[in-house]
A = this chain, B = another copy of it.
């Protein structure tokens, strides 16, 4: 991806364009992979009848493609194989509390992937994509739970979106007004961190006694999720 693509991929927020690109924009593949690996929910943007629609949905990631699934009757999935989409994955790490309101901000890691997704029709590829999606969101469950049967597979649409056109924006660290005139105001400044954590497994009330959560679920409890 060249600079022209970078410029067209990054949204503009505060500050000047050059400063933004230097400080927050990145095309580092390792950063993209880390953001995608950490999350499992994206915001899937698609245009339907000229109107944008932004839908939170689960994704899988095999390093070449993002995978999305849904009912074959889904409006957003049915529309998207014909149209460009923008898929955004965001982790919010904290509030940046500056001396001035103007310098307030958010620490975050965000990836945006652009492209025209492909409806996966090959049976083997579809099964592999669904496995990837399940294992990405809930590692260990594909082999532990009952895998989809023919009827369930037929009711499920799977989309693949190439990771070729992607960009990353990251903000880390404290506020930017610590060495300016506002530093003399005596106002506290810093970051209020935000962390997502997995809790303890909460068993289905309908579960019979004696069925314990498997290790791959228990091991996730009390670990950081974002």
User: Which of A's residues lie within 8 Å of B, judged by CB?
Assistant: 11-17, 19-20, 41, 43-47, 50-58, 70-71, 73-77, 84-88, 90, 92, 94-95, 97-102, 104, 106, 108, 110, 112, 114, 130, 134, 137-138, 141-142, 144-149, 152, 156, 174-175, 178-179, 182-183, 185-207, 211-214, 217, 220-221, 225-226
Q: Are A71 and B220 in contact (CB under 8 A)?
A: no
- A99–chain B nearest beta-carbon distance, Å: 6
Considering the complex, give the chain B residue whose CB is closest to the CB of A221: B192
In-complex Cβ contact of A74 among B12, B77, B198 (8 A): B12
Copies in the complex: 2
Considering the complex, give the chain B residue whose CB is closest to the CB of A153: B102
Q: Are A52 and B101 in contact (CB under 8 A)?
A: no
CA distance A201 to B192 in the complex (A): 5
Point out the residues of chain B lying under 8 angstroms from A53, CB to CB. 11, 15, 45, 86, 112
CA distance A143 to B191 in the complex (A): 18
Please give 4 more A-B residue pairs, beta carbons under 8 A apart, in addition to A45-B53, A178-B204, A196-B196: A11-B75, A14-B71, A56-B110, A102-B152
